């Protein structure tokens, strides 16, 4: 049997097992969609790619039994882009859908107005996870599951600005086994929020799952455009606050970088090997993989937000830009026509494309804390369709009017954020 190009990067045995499982192939025919948030008054927005608010509304309105949401925070303004989403959530709760929302403790100042409103609604339960007290990090994951069959994961916070004033990338996947994997991780964190004890969590993490979870070693097959197979699995951070059987995000991201043979495209808000939050020092994992990729001849293209220009991160990015084969650009979005908006008008995406076949879509920035003491989630996909879509989005930014090439000899000022 001739193996399709989309499954390159997996072991031969794994691919053979997956493709020979014809019954599973017939049963697993979900869809996968890349989803983009487009800042108003910009040239961004890839044609044919659905927008975040539209997808969230479709998912919520289709819910029949339950919705589980892991969110960093909820920041709503009446009349802005998040209001219809929250209204839809309340409407489904009134219709009998069970809604659970997990929020981070440290950003409750942002969430408080929505928290006070939503927790009074029948069928909506909210818990607060004090990750800062447990590991020193935050609940930074942004995903939700509908009816145990559809998952959304991406860089989009539950923030009106994330739907209309920030550039974001996410993915919607229809697959019961993947949804069940995310549900099990959500349930782990939900229980931890109810009883925030790391020793108890460690015991809970060792429990064997009651189903076959989706992992790097046992991924799912999705049917993409033109019936081309896609291989996908989720990964999570950190290991100290995840079931022991899930795939861990950092090593899988390193493997993706190592798999690149020709070109590696990365778009992330911030990127640094210098530990800013946590024990001070050098974080070699992704840094070494990026430098090694360039050394073996891979063209590495990186877009960061202008928020990454603060020091010492700017110096670190220059240390990458000085290397042959690595080009770093920073993006500065124009001010909105309505005037300055705090904590907005920024590239907040977190994705990577290796060649034209493997992609990563995550919720964390590329810094030590997001992989080692904060809760984050991601999806890895092998297949030309998603890679092609993300490459088009990347090129629109890379060749667009808002980016500046970072010069090692240059001096750049970070923007006003608030």
State the Cα–Cα distance between residues 84 and 70, nearest whole angstrom: 19
Beta partners for residue 223, in sequence order: 229
Whether 415 is covered by a domain: the verdict is no
| 46 domain residue, yes or no | yes
The reply to whether 1 falls in a domain is no
In CATH, what number is assigned to the domain containing residue 315? Answer: 3.30.870.10
What angle (nearest 5°) sits at the alpha carbon of residue 142, between those of residues 98 and 129? 70
In a domain, 326, yes or no: yes
Taking phi over 0 as left and psi of -120 to 50 as alpha, with beta for the rest, 235 belongs to beta
> Would residue 17 count as lying in a domain?
no
Half-sphere exposure of 200 (CA within 13 A, CB side): 10
pLDDT score at 345: 97
Domain count, the chain: 1
Instruction: Tell whether 19 is covered by a domain.
Output: no
What are the strands of the beta sheet with 32-37, ordered from one edge? Answer: 32-37, 168-174, 150-154, 143-146, 66-71, 98-104, 124-129
Asked if residue 416 is part of any domain, the answer here is no
Average pLDDT rounded to a whole number, residues 231-250: 96
268-304 pLDDT, tens digit per residue, is 999 999 998 888 999 999 999 999 999 999 999 999 9
Residue 208: predicted pLDDT: 94
Task: Using the predicted structure, report yes or no on whether residue 17 has a pLDDT greater than 90.
Answer: no
pLDDT of residue 104: 98
Q: Is the pLDDT of residue 10 over 80?
A: no
State which residues form the domain around 101: 28-405
Assigned domain for 371 exists? yes
Please give the Cα distance from 271 to 349 (Å, whole number). 12
Query: If you average pLDDT over residues 320-340, what whole number do you get?
Result: 97
Q: Which H/E stretch holds residue 370? A: helix 368-372
- pLDDT confidence band for 18 (50 / 70 / 90): very low
8 Å CB contact between 86 and 98: no
CA distances (Å), origin 228, targets 16, 138, 224, 355, 359: 16, 38, 5, 17, 16
Q: What share of the chain is helix, strand, coil (3-state, %, to 5)?
A: 35, 25, 40
Least reliable range by pLDDT among 18-22, 244-248, 297-301: 18-22
CA distance 332 to 374: 27
* pLDDT cut 90: percent of the chain above it: 88
Q: At residue 12, does pLDDT exceed 70?
A: no
| Residue 224 pLDDT level (bands cut at 50, 70, 90) | confident
What pLDDT, on a 0 to 100 scale, did the predictor assign at position 273? 98
- Model confidence pLDDT, tens digit, residues 66-103: 999 999 999 999 999 999 999 999 999 999 999 999 99
pLDDT value at position 226? 67
Mean pLDDT in the chain? 92
């Amino acid at each position: 049997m001739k193996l399709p190009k989309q499954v390159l990067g997996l072991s031969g045995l794994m691919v053979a097992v997956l493709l020979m499982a014809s019954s599973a192939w017939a049963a697993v025919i979900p869809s996968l969609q890349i989803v983009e948030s487009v800042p108003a008054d910009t040239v961004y927005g890839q044609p044919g790619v659905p927008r975040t608010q539209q997808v969230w509304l479709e998912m919520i309105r289709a819910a029949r039994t339950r919705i589980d949401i892991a969110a960093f925070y909820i920041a709503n303004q009446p009349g802005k882009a998040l209001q219809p989403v929250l209204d839809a959530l309340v409407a489904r709760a009134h219709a009998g859908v069970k809604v659970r929302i997990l929020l981070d403790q440290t950003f409750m100042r942002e969430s408080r107005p929505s928290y006070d409103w939503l927790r009074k609604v029948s069928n909506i339960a909210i818990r607060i996870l004090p990750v800062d007290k447990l590991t020193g990090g935050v609940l930074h994951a942004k995903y939700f599951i509908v009816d145990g069959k559809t998952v959304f994961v991406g860089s989009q916070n539950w923030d009106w600005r994330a739907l209309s004033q920030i550039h974001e990338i996410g993915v919607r996947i229809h697959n019961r086994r993947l949804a069940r994997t995310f549900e099990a991780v959500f349930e782990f964190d939900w229980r931890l929020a109810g009883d925030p004890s790391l020793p108890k969590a460690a015991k809970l993490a060792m429990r064997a799952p009651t189903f076959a979870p989706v992992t790097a070693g046992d991924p799912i097959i999705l049917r993409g455009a033109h019936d081309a197979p896609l291989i996908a699995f989720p990964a999570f951070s950190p290991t100290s606050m995840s079931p022991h059987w899930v795939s861990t995000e950092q090593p899988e991201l390193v493997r993706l970088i190592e798999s690149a043979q020709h070109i590696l495209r990365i778009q992330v808000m911030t990127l640094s090997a210098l530990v800013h939050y946590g024990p001070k020092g050098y974080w070699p994992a992704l840094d070494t993989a990026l430098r090694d990729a360039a050394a073996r001849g891979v063209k590495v293209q990186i877009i960061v937000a202008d928020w990454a220009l603060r020091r010492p991160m700017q110096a670190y990015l220059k240390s990458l830009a000085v290397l042959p084969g690595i080009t770093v650009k920073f993006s500065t979005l124009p001010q909105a026509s309505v005037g300055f908006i705090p904590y907005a008008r920024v590239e907040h995406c977190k994705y990577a494309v290796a060649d034209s076949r493997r992609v990563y879509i995550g919720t964390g920035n590329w810094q030590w804390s997001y992989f080692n003491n904060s809760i984050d989630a991601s999806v890895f996909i092998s297949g030309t369709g998603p890679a092609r879509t993300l490459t088009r989005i990347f090129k629109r930014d890379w060749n667009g009017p808002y980016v500046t090439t970072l010069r090692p000899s240059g001096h750049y000022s970070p923007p006003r954020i608030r």
